[in-house]
Amino acid sequence: MKLLRVTRWLFFANALLWVIFGMASIWRLQANANISMGLAVVLAVFMSGNALAIFLSGFLLGKGYKFAFNFALMVLAVNIFLTITDQVGLWDAVTLLIDLALVTLLFVCKKTGIEL
């Protein structure tokens, strides 16, 4: 059960990291006069949606929903794919490592019989 708690909290920390990353990106875009406000809004929506999906993944785990494991795995797979197909900077490397750790933790929880 402790392993599941650690996994859930890592999902929550990852969601918070995406919120911070999104806010920093928007502030940086707004400081650049060549970037339209529309692009900043689209970026904010995508990053907020990602943070929400990650948070929801952590929230659903351990609640007895049969789709929680698959949903969390799908969110992580999309994040990993999008991270490695983009320029990889420091933030990307950090989120990639967290996502890979979460995938590992999910499979360990499932293998040890923890109800996800």
Residue type, 72: A
29-33, 78-82, 85-89 — most confident range: 78-82
The residue with tokens 């929400």 is 52
Domain boundaries, the chain: 2-111
Which pLDDT score is estimated for 54? 97
Q: In this model, does residue 62 exceed pLDDT 90? A: no
Q: What is the pLDDT averaged over residues 8-29?
A: 89
What is the distance, to the nearest Å, from the Cα of residue 22 to the centroid of all Cα atoms in its chain? 12
Per-residue model confidence (pLDDT) at position 33? 63
Report the distance separating Cα 23 and Cα 42, nearest Å: 13
Cα separation of 27 and 9, whole Å?
27
CB 64 within 8 A of CB 24: no
Q: What is the DSSP letter of 87?
A: -
Which token pair is 107?
A: 């499979």
The per-residue pLDDT for range 40-53, each reduced to its tens digit, is 778 888 989 999 99
Q: Are 43 and 75 in contact (CB under 8 A)?
A: no
Write the DSSP symbol of residue 16: H
